Amino acid sequence: MEFHRSDSSSPSSSMPTPNTTDPKKPATDPMHSWWESVSKARSRIHALAAILPSSSHDPLSSLADSDRPALSLLSSSTAYAAVSASLSGSHSDPLCHWLYDTFLSADPHLRLVVLSFVPLLTGLYLSRIHSPEPPSLAGFEAVLLALYAAETRSRNGKPLLVTIPDLSHPSIYHAPLRKPQSLSPPSVGLISPPLEPQLGVKSTKRPAIVGVALHSYFSQISHMPAWSKLDFCQFAAAWAGSDPCPCRTQFDDAPIPDHSDIRAAKGERIPLPWEILQPSLRILGHCLLGPLNSQDVKDAASFAVRCLYARASHDLVPQAILATRSLIQLDVRTAEAAKANAGSNSNSNTPTKVKKPEILLVSK
């Protein structure tokens, strides 16, 4: 499947542009770059408004008139909900065309807008592709391939590695108690192998392609809105399955909120290979422990992690059990610390009874 960009029909193409033919103006004029970015973002917003139902035209028009239209679109829950309600994922889906064309633009803020829909794209795609009679999802696959191709170019054939700390090696935080006679090479863990170019989404390559899209989302997760993170947490809980299991609550002293109704609406249990589960757990870790996340996001992430732990325990996947159990324990300790801090603050704010001054009787 191949999409082609077509911005010429956008309503914003008739907007006035600054004069760029002045030979005295430098080629890298920041004002020109800013105006070009704003014009491109307004063009994409007007193109989106032409696709969505008429009830969304006025809110999107107000976003296009802002000083930073791309960031305004990113922070608009109304636009996100309108796209969510209209996205089908078929070859002829105009929203998939819009996401594809928008991501191919060089504007980083517009790319953030597309990345904010990755939880919705991957959630709907994985839920539908594993149904008994999967529909045509070529639109979703084209967007996922665009994300995969961009990440392949940025990695330039190199794997993603992580250096595992070793206490026998000195660092800026400590010096070893005993200086080793010979330092062993640092331990290096593999996060992701080198990526190979893909022209289509084959069943054998699907987990890797979806996993790369999730990794791209995680790399920009600090810029993602709360409703996008909440969507991912709900999809992750649905992927784990809806079977009630006591494993979910074995680390909790008090019952946690059950989101089974929301989870059922997001999809069914699907296969979870490590290529998909690893970036999913990294995203859930941010949603669970990020200090700036809303409580709704943290609660949804807490429930999703426990569902995935129960799934990993039943599937007997050691690395998934270790990762999900670690996140649950961090969540429990964070909750205990917050409860202790709240208790200490309440005690410090409690007014104490004023003592009467002591009167000493001195005999003459």
Question: Has this prediction a pTM greater than 0.75?
Answer: yes
> Would you state the pLDDT for residue 257?
62
| Run of H or E including 33 | helix 30-51
Contact in structure between 146 and 100 (CB atoms under 8 Å): yes
The CA distances from residue 222 to 85, 168, 175, 291, 359, in Å, are 25, 33, 33, 11, 62
Structure tokens at 286: 């941010």
**pLDDT at position 287:** 96
DSSP tag of 164 = E
Residue positions counted in the chain: 364
- Take residue 186 and report the two structure tokens written for it: 């640092």
CB-CB contact of 303 with 233 (8 Å): yes
Domain ranges of the chain: 225-344
Q: Look at the block and give the residue holding tokens 């107000």.
A: 62
- Both tokens of 53, joined, read 């139902």
Q: Of 285, 127, 136, 266, whose CA–CA distance to 210 is shortest? A: 127
pLDDT at 125: 94
Say if residue 326 is exposed, middle or buried (CB neighbours under 10 Å; 0-12, 13-18, 19+): middle
Tokens describing residue 88? 């089908």
Q: Tens digit of pLDDT per residue, the chain (364 long)?
A: 545 444 444 444 444 444 444 444 445 667 767 778 888 999 999 999 999 888 777 788 888 888 899 999 999 999 999 999 999 999 999 999 999 999 998 789 999 999 999 999 999 999 999 888 888 899 999 999 999 999 999 999 899 888 887 777 777 777 777 776 666 777 888 888 899 989 889 989 999 999 999 999 999 999 999 999 999 999 999 999 876 777 777 777 666 666 555 555 677 889 999 999 999 999 999 999 999 999 999 999 999 999 999 999 988 899 999 999 999 999 999 888 888 877 776 655 555 555 555 555 555 4
> 194, exposed or middle or buried, with CB in 10 Å at 0-12, 13-18, 19+?
exposed
Give the pLDDT score at 19. Answer: 46
C-alpha 284: how far from chain center: 8
Report the pLDDT value the prediction gives residue 13, as an integer from 0 to 100. Answer: 40
CA distances from 349 to 245, 336, 344, 352 (A): 42, 20, 9, 9
Strands 160-164 and 187-192: antiparallel
